[in-house]
Amino acid sequence: MGLAGKAFSGWRVLREGLTGNRGWEAHWRDPQPKTDYDFIIIGGGGHGLATAYYLAAEHGITNVAVLEKGYIGGGNVGRNTTIVRANYGLEGNSQFYSHSLKLWETMEQELNYNVMHSQRGIINLFHSDGQRDAYARRGNMMLSQGDDAQLLDREGVRALVPSLNYTNTRFPIYGGLYHPRGGTARHDAVAWGFARGADRRGVDLIQNCEVTGIDVSEGKVTGVQTTRGAIRARKVGIVVAGRSSQVAAMAGMRLPIESHVLQAFVTEGLKPCLDQVVTFGMGHFYISQSDKGGLVFGGDLDLYASYAARGNLPMAEHVIEAGMALMPMIGKARLLRSWGGIMDMSADGSPVIDKTHIEGLYLNCGWCYGGFKAVPGSGHVFAHLMATDQPHEVARHHRLERFRDGVGLMDEEATGAQHNLH
């Protein structure tokens, strides 16, 4: 099947709509694993699929397999609250997320896929003079990076989001840092779009194929063991988010990563009542409204290490209390469901995109609870690293060794090595 064979166009959508939608084809093949590839990507989440896509699209490397133990989109890429932004403050992350947001802005054309990227804007609320100063600093950093930021006063926020609680004397809203280019996207469509794009360029996406071992000989990676047999490869990338410590341990590595649960919630569909993404500055709570009308919200980690992709009730209560303090009207909405995902928390709240001490083995992890917005950027720079053996310019700070030598730690929120304060 050529690249054009599965393409979307207005004409095609119209034709299929009039003929019962019978002409669409599967977005990707279901190939048997070969015994040998040039490159293997472990993990078919957003980052793994984007890496495979850019290896093929930008570096012409197509003898690639993505090995996914479950199904495409079943991990965190399909569990997050879909916020996309570039409002980081520190050297390293600031450049990286700015790069990633630019890739978001051309993603739909690049992939010929509707990922419903909606730049509806993000407002980070502040509730004290000190918090306003911190957000002003962050806004200046964003502007210096070429991104957008506006400091709103209370009336400026009210004009955009009238439904907040402006009479709360305990947590008064002083204003907000507005990032108009931030927004949301349809999360699983992002996975499907990169999967389809990689498949169309010849990458094998192999689902239900768990990696159980990493083969290393004389300091070089030679392949992997899987539930579907041994597969050889020259280069292997570990891109497994919440399972990073477990998979890296297969190569004898101990990572500075802890896995923690993060929950999210969605209400029944409501009429449009919230145009932007809003974050509360006095508690862990953030909210947006999905295109189907559900209020999508979340808060902090469950605050204990776990591999269970479900959350605890005390944190659910905490998040909902914070929501009620900010936006009491949501108390009238019925909660439809909640879910959890496993976060790969690094000690400085920032990711690792690096080679390892084993030749041919590369590592991409530590996205904490913010890796969805990183999907195109991470795939782009990790493909660059794997293809050229040189770090991409915007990812040169994301070294694994910083946790050993202490040089260049990107302590994004100045909370030190305490995961629950990130």
Nearest CB to ligand FAD, comparing residues 47 and 384: 47
Which DSSP string do the residues of 36-94 spell out, in sequence order? EEEEEEE--SHHHHHHHHHHHHHH----EEEE-SS-TT-SGGGTS--EE-----STTHH
Which DSSP string do the residues of 89-139 spell out, in sequence order? -STTHHHHHHHHHHHHHHHHHHHT-----B---EEEEE-SHHHHHHHHHHH
Nearest CB to ligand FAD, comparing residues 80 and 145: 80
Nearest CB to ligand FAD, comparing residues 145 and 184: 184
Asked if 46 interacts with ligand FAD (CB under 6 A), we say: yes
Triad 35, 41, 46: Cα angle to 5°: 140
Strands 257-269 and 229-238: unpaired
Give the SS3 label for residue 337.
Answer: strand
Binding region for ligand FAD (CB under 6 A) out of 28-36, 68-76, 110-118, 384-392 = 68-76
Q: Write each residue from 1 to 20 as x if it is in contact with ligand FAD (CB under 6 A), else as -, in one continuous string.
A: --------------------
Binding region for ligand FAD (CB under 6 A) out of 57-65, 143-151, 371-379, 403-411 = 371-379
Give the SS3 label for residue 313.
Answer: helix
Backbone angles phi, psi at 48, to 5 degrees: -65, -45
DSSP 286: E
Rg (CA), the chain: 22
Compute the distance between CA of residue 147 and CA of residue 144 in angstroms, rounded to an integer: 7
Binding region for ligand FAD (CB under 6 A) out of 64-72, 111-119, 323-331, 352-360 = 64-72
Compute the distance between CA of residue 144 and CA of residue 138 in angstroms, rounded to an integer: 10
Task: Work out how close the CB of 300 gets to ligand FAD at its nearest, in angstroms, rounded to a whole number.
Answer: 11
Please identify which residue in 164, 198, 203, 211 interacts with ligand FAD, judged by CB under 6 A: 211
Per-residue burial over 230-264, b = 16 or more CB atoms within 10 Å of its CB, e = otherwise: ebebbbbbbbbbbbbbebbebbebebbbbbbbbbb
Please identify which residue in 371, 376, 377, 391 interacts with ligand FAD, judged by CB under 6 A: 371
Number of amino acids touching ligand FAD (CB under 6 A): 39
Question: Nearest to ligand FAD by Cβ — which residue?
Answer: 45
Task: Work out how close the CB of 65 gets to ligand FAD at its nearest, in angstroms, rounded to a whole number.
Answer: 11
Please identify which residue in 40, 67, 125, 248 interacts with ligand FAD, judged by CB under 6 A: 67
Nearest CB to ligand FAD, comparing residues 13 and 249: 249
Nearest CB to ligand FAD, comparing residues 48 and 121: 48
Asked if 372 interacts with ligand FAD (CB under 6 A), we say: yes
Asked if 265 interacts with ligand FAD (CB under 6 A), we say: no
Please identify which residue in 52, 56, 122, 262 interacts with ligand FAD, judged by CB under 6 A: 262
Compute the distance between CA of residue 262 and CA of residue 241 in angstroms, rounded to an integer: 13
* E strand residue ranges, 229-290: 229-238, 257-269, 277-279, 286-289
Compute the distance between CA of residue 154 and CA of residue 137 in angstroms, rounded to an integer: 18
Distances (CA, A) of 260 to 8, 31, 80, 162: 39, 33, 14, 35
Give the SS3 label for residue 205.
Answer: strand
Asked if 376 interacts with ligand FAD (CB under 6 A), we say: no
Consecutive H or E run containing 355? strand 352-355
Binding region for ligand FAD (CB under 6 A) out of 144-152, 159-167, 172-180, 233-241 = 233-241
Residues 266-305 that bind ligand FAD (CB under 6 A): 298
Please identify which residue in 28, 37, 64, 68 interacts with ligand FAD, judged by CB under 6 A: 68
Task: Work out how close the CB of 37 gets to ligand FAD at its nearest, in angstroms, rounded to a whole number.
Answer: 14
Binding region for ligand FAD (CB under 6 A) out of 57-65, 111-119, 199-207, 369-377 = 369-377
Asked if 370 interacts with ligand FAD (CB under 6 A), we say: yes
Asked if 74 interacts with ligand FAD (CB under 6 A), we say: yes
Please identify which residue in 45, 139, 223, 281 interacts with ligand FAD, judged by CB under 6 A: 45
- Farthest-apart Cα atoms in the chain, separation: 67
Give the SS3 label for residue 391.
Answer: coil
Asked if 70 interacts with ligand FAD (CB under 6 A), we say: yes
Give the SS3 label for residue 221.
Answer: strand
Q: Write each residue from 76 to 115 as x if it is in contact with ligand FAD (CB under 6 A), else as -, in one continuous string.
A: xx-xxxxx--------------------------------
Q: Which residues bind ligand FAD (CB under 6 A)?
A: 42-48, 67-70, 74-77, 79-83, 210-211, 239-243, 247, 262-264, 298, 341, 367, 369-373
